[in-house]
């Protein structure tokens, strides 16, 4: 629980940092406008043109960065909301709902463990796969009693091409099965060297 709260705090800190960056750009823009007003009164046209070009660059940077910052801010806000939802759902014993919410905020290991607790082994396998824990993903898929594409891909990621080829064949994915068999042959050639 403490880890989740620390992650939520970090996400909120990231949002604050994004706001500070945005305010910095606005401040630079305001300063530049004030400088231009003062220069216009002095009548220094070359300097005004140079400052206008700088102002245009600042505005272009601000526009590009603002769009990125808004997107990043939205993502962080969604993650914070999902994390809060996950904590609440877990506290109320809704493990499947909490697992879904943890997955939405990128906490795949926590998600996998909760799906496992809720005996949703196929979804636990997907979460372990997303976390890069391919061995655990395979165990969950096996416990769910299913062979699927992610199970075959997990075997490939672990370098177990023979098992992956068999699953691809069972799934009717002949090209994928042949790709794995080709990899086995390539590896056996290296073993001979």
State pLDDT tens for residues 4-33.
667 666 666 666 666 666 666 666 666 666
Under a CB-based contact definition with an 8 Å cutoff, are residues 80 and 5 in contact? no
In this structure, what are the phi and psi dihedrals at residue 171, rounded to the nearest 5 degrees?
Answer: -85, -5
Q: What is the pLDDT of residues 139-169, one digit of tens each?
A: 999 999 888 899 999 999 999 999 999 999 9
What's the confidence (pLDDT) of residue 136? 96
* pTM for this prediction: 0.64
Asked if the model's pLDDT at residue 123 lies above 70, the reply is yes
The token pair that represents 158 in the structure block: 């672990």
pLDDT at 47: 67
Q: Which of 21, 124, 135 is nearest to 72 (CA)?
A: 21
H helix runs in 131-173, sequence order: 134-143, 149-157, 161-170
Give yes or no for residue 87 having a pLDDT over 70.
Answer: yes
Arithmetic mean of pLDDT, 159-187: 92
Arithmetic mean of pLDDT, 120-138: 95
Contact at 8 Å (CB) between 133 and 109?
Answer: yes
More confident residue, 108 or 10: 108
Query: Interior CA angle at 125 toward 141 and 132, to 5°?
Result: 125
Query: Where do the domains of the chain lie?
Result: 1-92
Length of the chain: 193
């Amino acid at each position: 629980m403490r880890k989740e709260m620390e992650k939520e705090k970090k996400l909120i800190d990231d949002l604050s940092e994004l706001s500070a960056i945005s305010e910095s750009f606005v401040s630079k823009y305001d300063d530049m406008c004030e400088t231009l007003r003062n220069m216009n009164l002095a009548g220094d046209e070359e300097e005004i043109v140079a400052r206008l070009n700088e102002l245009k660059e600042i505005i272009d940077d601000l526009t590009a960065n603002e769009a990125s910052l808004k997107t990043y801010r939205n993502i962080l806000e969604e993650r914070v909301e999902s994390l809060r939802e996950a904590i609440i759902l877990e506290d109320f014993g809704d493990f499947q709902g909490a697992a879904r919410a943890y997955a939405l905020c990128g906490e795949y290991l926590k998600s996998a463990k909760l799906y496992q607790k809720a005996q949703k082994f196929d979804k636990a396998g997907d979460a372990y796969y997303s976390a890069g824990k391919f061995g655990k993903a395979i165990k969950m898929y096996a416990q769910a009693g299913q062979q699927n594409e992610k199970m075959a891909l997990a075997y490939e990621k672990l370098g177990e091409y023979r098992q992956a080829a068999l699953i691809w064949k069972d799934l009717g994915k002949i090209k994928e099965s042949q790709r794995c068999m080709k990899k086995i042959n390539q590896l056996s050639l290296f073993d001979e060297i």
